[in-house]
Amino acid sequence: MSTRATRLFPAVMLSGLLAAAPVAAQTLDDKVNEIFASSTGWFVSFIFSNFPGTSFPWIVAWLVIAATVFTFYFGFVQFRAFPHSIALVKGDYSDPNDAGEVSHFQALATALSGTVGLGNIAGVAVAVGIGGPGATFWMILAGLMGMASKFTECTLGVKYRNEYPDGTVSGGPMYYMTKGFAERNLPGGKVLAVLFAIFCILGSLGGGNMFQANQAHAQIANVVGDYPGWITGVVFAGIVFAVIIGGLKSIASVTEKVVPFMGIIYVGAALIILLMNFQYIGTAFGQIFEGAFTGLGIAGGMVGALIQGFRRAAFSNEAGVGSAAIAHSAVRTKEPITEGYVSLLEPFIDTVVICTMTALVIIITGQLVTDPETGLLVLNEAGTAIQTIDGNSGVALTSAAFSSVFGWFRYILAIAVILFAFSTMISWSYYGLKAWTFLFGEGHAKEVTYKVIFCIFVVIGAAANLGPVIDFSDAAIFAMAVVNIFALYFLMPVVKKEMNSYMSRLRSGEIKKFV
Amino acid sequence: MSRKIVVGFDGSEASRRALDFAVKRAKLQGDNILIAHILEWSPYSFLTPSEIEERHRRRKEELERAESAIITPVIKAIEAEGVPVTAMMKYGHIAETICKISESEKAELIIIGRMGTSGLSSRIFGSVAGTLAQIAPVPVTIVP
């Protein structure tokens, strides 16, 4: 293992552009961390720069405005079409003769296993740990609005996908940017597609990879005690390598089958904890509403809570980012819009249900320290985050919250985190690969190159500190959203046409239920 | 008027016995045979992104393989005996799909073989023959 790490180190140094002068006494983890932080800092500060003279990042406004525009443009489709979405997932409108093809349920489940993951466990803990209970309110709101963004991008993903003669399909923002823009005689589709593909590759290495490896390591270290992060990284990279390069499909398919059950266990445990503490639920919601508009003493007040909530919601459900459009585009359907309806359930399940559970458990179990006299939250010494009972943050905070009720839950959570991290990595390696082949063309050598890079970043992610990794992960994923949402504005009339035509045929009875 | 008999057939020993039994009956009574080949499939299973991408191609391959390796040879053999025969390939839950086919094709009898599993596994997972006996819309003959 150590030889592998030393062989890998030159690559790490290169990618870090030799930015930091290593000090002899530093550990490998420290070096990786330092190089990483200094080489990605400029990108992070650009994406998260504030509007001049305010403390409000433009990227957060960009996402929220888009979700609001889509919500109004499609007439609150996320609420009106919700029952129809459920009927589609149940298969009420699926032709039995198409059995054996990818069902709506399967496309939704696969897309969900790419998004349900650390964002729901660690990301929410970060949001609540910095933004206070009020961040939950903004997170739920962002989740509800994000349903409209998801609806738009997934419909387009199916409509403009490429279908090859051998029956395989490739879809995603790259394809609707090129084909959709050409169809509407708009210039610049190709430029957008290339930009998106670049950011998608970065995002696949950041949020889809390093953040996962990082938090998986934190979780294992939390259970077995501290040890160097690169060890976790090398083990994880080895398994990912076996699956995506070695073609060891069995590991991936076992994970895909276990992950949904882990999700159910997670939500089930959260519900039990909430029921056991039902007398505090009212207080918790009180804190959430009050905190949403006052901040309850956190750094940045209401805006601070709002930014944390929106950021973590977007990072968790990926609405507007464009990744889901890649996952959903392979479904078998004659109507692209049906996949849009199905996909709008994704932010709902991911953010409005699962993320909210995590937040409520953290708040209800009293992990955040409040001043008994003022009722305000107490900040840590640096004033950057809220004081927690044991000084936990990220996934360790969630773990502490669940374990305060069920002592054994930290082990379950550790397994869940590792599996979620792994399934998210597999999904994102696929998204990144699709972007990579879009840029460089298909071919064995090209695909293996990407996959090897992906595995190297697993090690970097596990070794670096949470701060720089989480910043870079967010920045790369939000950069995808910048390009994707820009394209969505130009293509949203296409979706509206599809929606109106489908809805009128549904009402006239031309589209029938099979069940 | 000749009756239509649905025979559940997957190429296994048990299903061959059922088909032989059905052919004998059909010959004597002038019935015709509908071979139902069901590929086990649930729309609620979980797939990885790359499995999803390849699914449509795989389905085509699976159907082609089933047709050439399983269905075509037996159809030829039955036709040679002078019994009118057709075949259907469907994806789905085996017992439920056989029932649906019997209804839509207005069959009067279902004939299936049984695997002969007993004990724990069939108690937990059920068996096709047992399920059909419970839910079939027409009489079922189970060939041992």
Task: DSSP for A285-342, please give it.
Answer: HHHHHHHHHHGGG-TTHHHHHHHHHHHHHHHHH-TTTSHHHHHHTT---S-HHHHHHH
Question: What percentage of residues in chain A have a pLDDT greater than 70?
Answer: 91
List the domain boundaries for chain B.
4-143
In this prediction, residue B125 carries a pLDDT of 63
What pLDDT, on a 0 to 100 scale, did the predictor assign at position A157?
93
Closest by CA position to A462, among listed A411, A421, A415, A432 = A421
The lowest-confidence range among A266-275, A460-469, B93-102 is A460-469
Q: Domain B4-143, what architecture?
A: 3-Layer(aba) Sandwich (3.40)
Find the CB nearest A100 among B47, B91, B100.
B91
Give me the phi and psi of B8, to 5 degrees please.
-75, 120
Distance CA A146, CA A484 (A): 14
**Is B27 at the interface with chain A, CB within 8 A?**
no
Most confident of A172-176, A376-380, B134-138: A172-176
Least confident of A139-143, A408-412, A462-466, B19-23: A462-466
User: Is the pLDDT score of A464 beyond 70?
Assistant: yes
What pLDDT band is residue B123 in, cutting at 50, 70 and 90?
A: low
CB contact under 8 A, A106 and B48: no
pLDDT (0 to 100) of residue A96: 80
User: What DSSP element (H or E) covers B50?
Assistant: helix B49-66
Which residues from chain A sit within 8 angstroms of residue B57, using beta carbons?
166-168
The pLDDT of residue A145 is 92
Bridge partners of B142, per DSSP, are B112
- Per-residue pLDDT tens over the stretch A361-414: 999 988 887 777 777 777 777 667 777 877 777 788 888 898 888 888 888 888
For residue A92, the chain B residue with the least C-alpha distance is B43
Query: Does residue A13 have a pLDDT over 50?
Result: no
Q: How confident is the model at residue A71 (pLDDT cuts 50, 70, 90)?
A: very high
| All structural domains of chain A | 57-500 (1.20.1740.10)
pLDDT at A2 over 60: no
How many Å lie between the alpha carbon of A106 and the closest alpha carbon of chain B? 6
CA distance A130 to A302: 12
- The CA–CA distances, whole Å, from A232 to A267, A410, A446, A459, B28 equal 27, 18, 27, 8, 71
For residue B54, the chain A residues in CB contact (below 8 A) are: 167-168
Q: What is the DSSP code (8-state) at residue B24?
A: H
* Residues of chain A found within 8 Å of residue B96, distances taken between Cβ atoms: none
- Which chain B residues are Cβ-neighbours of A110 within 8 angstroms? 46-49, 52
Res A7 pLDDT > 70: no
Q: Which of B53, B56, B90 sits opposite A101 (nearest CB)?
A: B56
State whether A106 and B92 contact (CB < 8 Å). Answer: no
Q: Which of A75-84, A107-116, A242-251, B97-106 has the lowest mean pLDDT?
A: A242-251
The whole-angstrom separation of Cα A350 and Cα A115 is: 7
pLDDT tens profile A195-213 = 999 999 988 988 888 888 8
A-chain residues within 8 Å CB-CB of B53? 168-170, 330
Q: Are B105 and B4 in contact (CB under 8 A)?
A: yes
Per-residue confidence (pLDDT) for residue B118, from 0 to 100? 62
Q: Do A327 and B52 touch (CB under 8 A)?
A: yes
Q: What is the nearest CA distance from B140 to chain A, expressed in angstroms?
A: 24
ipTM of the complex: 0.82
**Would you give the DSSP letter of residue A49?**
P
Looking at residue A265, what is its pLDDT?
87
Q: Which residue from A99, A167, A427 is facing B41, i.e. has the nearest CB?
A: A99
Q: Does B105 touch chain A (CB under 8 A)?
A: no
Closest partner CB to A256 (pick from B46, B92, B100): B46
CB contact under 8 Å between B52 and A426, yes or no, is no
User: How far is B28 from chain A, CA to nearest CA, in Å?
Assistant: 34
State residue B122's pLDDT score: 61
Average pLDDT value over all residues in chain A: 83
Greater confidence, A454 or B54?
A454
Tokens standing for A348?
């709902």
Take residue A154 and report the two structure tokens written for it.
């997934």
Q: How many CB atoms lie within 10 A of CB A22?
A: 13
